[in-house]
Structure 1
């Protein structure tokens, strides 16, 4: 808890002070100073008076050490939620525990991806308890590791393993009083979510540019399902997504479905978008809203 000492001797804020510049990073206004080509960076967090305090700009002397540094306006660098163990898995949790939970299953880049955590916070703000587990046990795919290409990495992190771990997460949520669970899967996570849907362990699902999902998989799904596909996608091309739609709409008993192919976007657009690209953000947010609408319709 802050005391009076934290608020004494307040500075005269000056947004034009300093030899650096203000730019957005991760959607947050930030003061940058130093070379953007440096391989070293320092992140500094202000006191309660914020990032425009003039004395903070004096710290640009760090440039002399060849260090690029930035000052964020927000403390919420890693999201509004927190990480704790759930069913022995580190999980990012956002929102207040209640009877309805949403399980978000990441793509191969894992549960720490900033955009994914922002999505989790957005879903939580709609009134859900959101869980984003680390199904890779601290070992997400690293494209810079040439000795371990995706095909090799997948041998250690198959979607079958993710599906089994997800079942434990669902049981843990039920033990906490959750009575309705929806799940959304991004890329790799789409296959995990389909397996949960086939087992009827969830009440509704959303597949966002899913990978490794087949028509036979969709034939085994009989819960309300939304599929959000990209026009430019080799993993789930529009032709395959349309087959998913045909299978879902032909099911007896009128299983509710929603299928949409987003124009001019590529695989991964809903979670790997550039926050500085207005068009990319717009397309991603449209998909996020479709996801929220689907859960609002089918989770009570």
Structure 2
């Protein structure tokens, strides 16, 4: 059931989608939206298993750029995102080649590349698979703020080690990271106040993946996703500006 929900509503990948451009960053091919000269802070977006060519994650990056951030979406899967229709491997087999531990190691040079561009304030948002990678970054203080949107694979021990401001927006209908687990995240983070600020919310009537794998032509789905995107941007505006 969890594997099914993790891969439901797969996007139609489009390498030409978005308002931004492609450039190598930290050794990875990266979708970039925004101007390094006009922005004072950067946001790293780490995708779910479908990768950086999903139109919606690029749309979210474009929103972040419109809000004044330099937004980057690296290809952490090096041209091999999970393909639910064309991949003979179950997602758990695919994950053996694309573990979140490798994602973390690949993310570190990206963060350093952003710092070398002059960004002293860097935030990261992770969707599903990316949520685990962002949580690992949030332990190391290599970024200034974190947002997890319907994360996967994040343990209670992970949350105990978070030491930067973190926002978690979770789905009410989620067999991967169920509400009961999210409530435990919230309890742990509450013990860190006032040293570590946090905000945790379980969004009613939405499913795992709702912020990035939604139909833009569905008014209700878009409304729920846009509300989450706005909360993400407000969090970054609070801690990166």
TM-score between both structures, scaled by the size of structure 1: 0.73
1:93 maps onto 2:32 in alignment: yes
Q: Deviations over 1:70-129 (max 9, x none)?
A: xxxxxxx61110011111200000001133100000000000000110000001000000
1:193 maps onto 2:134 in alignment: yes
1:155 to 96, 104, 116: 96
1:206 to 117, 126, 147: 147
Q: Deviations over 1:42-63 (max 9, x none)?
A: xxxxxxxxxxxxxxxxxxxxxx
Q: Which residue of 1 aligns with 2:18?
A: 79
CA RMSD of aligned residues (A): 1.2
- Per-residue deviation at 1:217? 0.2
Q: Residues 86-165 of structure 1: matches in 2 within 5 Å?
A: 86-97=25-36, 98-145=39-86, 147-165=88-106
- Per-residue deviation at 1:251? 1.5
1:112 aligns to what SS in structure 2?
coil
- Per-residue deviation at 1:252? 5.3
Report 1 or 2 for greater relative contact order, CA contacts < 8 Å, sequence distance ≥ 6. Answer: 2
Q: Which residue of 1 aligns with 2:115?
A: 174
- Per-residue deviation at 1:136? 0.1
Larger-Rg structure? 1
1:251 maps onto 2:192 in alignment: yes
Tell me, in whole angstroms, the C-alpha distance in 1 between the residues paired with 2:87 and 2:233: 37
- Segments of structure 1 that go 5 or more residues without pairing to the other structure are 1-76
1:271 maps onto 2:208 in alignment: no
2:216 aligns to what SS in structure 1?
coil
2:146 aligns to what SS in structure 1?
strand
Tell me, in whole angstroms, the C-alpha distance in 2 between the residues paired with 1:252 and 1:114: 37
Q: Deviations over 1:233-261 (max 9, x none)?
A: 01111111111111001115441111111
Q: Deviations over 1:172-205 (max 9, x none)?
A: 1111111110000000000000000001100000
Q: Which residue of 2 aligns with 1:280?
A: 221
- Segments of structure 2 that go 5 or more residues without pairing to the other structure are 1-15
Tell me, in whole angstroms, the C-alpha distance in 2 between the residues paired with 1:297 and 1:253: 16
Q: Which residue of 2 aligns with 1:58?
A: none
2:113 aligns to what SS in structure 1?
helix
- Per-residue deviation at 1:147? 2.1
| More helix by percentage | 2
